Amino acid sequence: MKKFIVLFAVLAMVFAFTATAMADVSMWGSARFMTYVEKSDSDYAGNTLGFDDTDTQWTLGTLSRFGAKFTGGDVGGMWEMDARQMAGSAWNRNASGGSLSHATSLGDVRMRHLFGTWNFGSGQLLIGQTWPLTNFFVSHLNYTTNGEQFWGGVGAVGARLSQIRLTFGNFKVAFLSPYIGATLPAGAVDTDTQLPKIEVLYTLPLEPVKLDFVAGYQKYDVVDGTDKSFDITSWVAGFAAYMNFGAAYVNVTLHYAQNPGNYDLGDRVGVGYNAAYLNAAGTDFEDMTGFGGVLAVGFKVSDMVTLEAGYSKLDYSGDMVGGDIEDTAQSYYVQAKFTMAPGVYIVPEIAIFDKEDANAGGGALDVEQGKKTVFGVWWCINFK
């Protein structure tokens, strides 16, 4: 595997340099390092020890990457790869599933983006793997690598997805790989998909504000042990606003969704009751609905220092005989970004992730899911 990765990187570089005769090629890289202390409550979801846990994360960040962009007439493209930890390795995670200690010594390299584009005059065609349209980066929290995206934003657990996308000015429509999830819904033994996931995005630039409006839809069937099928429909609608007022900025995103766990939203924060569930009679699947939001406020003190604070919230619920199912979570953080030189950043930050309460319905009591506090420094050197 490692020999293949080295060979692929060498061939990619050779191609990048020889391709300059037919296209403009720009290459880049980003080395990112994470130095954090993580403190998890005994009841924090994911802490299996039964008592409070403290870990140090001192590792090359998972989003350290290198890539290249190609442009030549009406045709272009991009590829980008990043360093990855070996998932599930005992070398990488402690007994409580906590901090990662190695990025590439026992890990591998992952393809982040790989797509081609064609400008056909009235619009653009994109085929390959890149961000879904339901992905808004309004927060700059670095510990999570994607801001507070998964703690309240419109964001995909699968990150970059295979898709066919069309762009017409400020309007985009994408047809993406359908998402089923890592496990089948309770009571299901199989899933049947007939259509891709569909997303649309419209951007409205209103200086000094930019607004993005997005919607997505997905439908598939689950099959039980008697070969009876049930329809599971999931959708999301939301928007993001990016507001710049001189040295200050305010970014916000809100979304409302049905069965977000089936669609690919919110799973990373451990909000377990966010997907369709089999009712008590075992006769049908019931829908979960709810909302999420992220607010980030920043101020550029000088060319060297930028301050930012953020808050996020998730709240999903569904009806059940004897009481509603409900699960909530929130997070908040502050950070200071120091620009030491062009492309060189040092960012101290502290964040609290609160999984709040969960209730399985049917007369069950609320279950406290604990908090996780993280403080440390994120380091980054971009080069090209």
pLDDT in tens, 39-64: 988 777 666 777 788 888 888 876 78
Question: What is the Cα–Cα distance from 144 to 63, expressed in whole angstroms?
Answer: 10
Tokens for 219, please give them. 């439908």
Amino acid 74: pLDDT: 95
Give, for 20, the enclosing helix (H) or strand (E).
none
Residue 100 — very low, low, confident or very high, per pLDDT cuts 50/70/90?
A: very low
Residues 151 and 141: beta-carbon distance below 8 Å: no
Amino acid 43: pLDDT: 76
Greater pLDDT, 112 or 266: 112
pLDDT in tens, 359-379: 776 666 677 788 899 999 999
Amino acid 89: pLDDT: 39
Residue 184 — very low, low, confident or very high, per pLDDT cuts 50/70/90?
A: low
Mean pLDDT of the chain: 82
Residue 66 — very low, low, confident or very high, per pLDDT cuts 50/70/90?
A: very high
Q: How many CB atoms are closer than 10 A to CB 42?
A: 11
Answer whether residue 98 shows pLDDT above 60.
Answer: no
Alpha-carbon dihedral angle through residues 14, 16, 21, 22, given to the nearest 10 degrees: 130
Reduced 3-state DSSP string for 201-227: EEEEEECCEEEEEEEEEEEEEEECCCC
Amino acid 379: pLDDT: 95
Q: Which amino acid is at 207?
A: E
Q: How many CB atoms are closer than 10 A to CB 25?
A: 17
For strands 161-168 and 325-341, give the pairing: unpaired
Amino acid 126: pLDDT: 98
CA 270 vs CA 24, 104, 228, 286, 371: distances in Å? 43, 26, 29, 20, 12
Provide CB contacts within 8 A for 252, sequence distance 6+: 138, 240, 241, 293, 294, 295, 296
Highest-scoring range by mean pLDDT, 132-136, 206-210, 262-266: 206-210
Residue 183: DSSP 8-state: S
Residue 269 — very low, low, confident or very high, per pLDDT cuts 50/70/90?
A: low
Alpha-carbon dihedral angle through residues 298, 160, 32, 310, given to the nearest 10 degrees: 20
Q: What proportion of the chain, given as a percentage, has pLDDT over 70?
A: 77
Residue 19: DSSP 8-state: G
Q: How many CB atoms are closer than 10 A to CB 109?
A: 19
- Predicted model pTM: 0.84
Answer whether residue 240 shows pLDDT above 90.
Answer: yes
CA 228 vs CA 17, 207, 222, 283: distances in Å? 56, 53, 8, 10
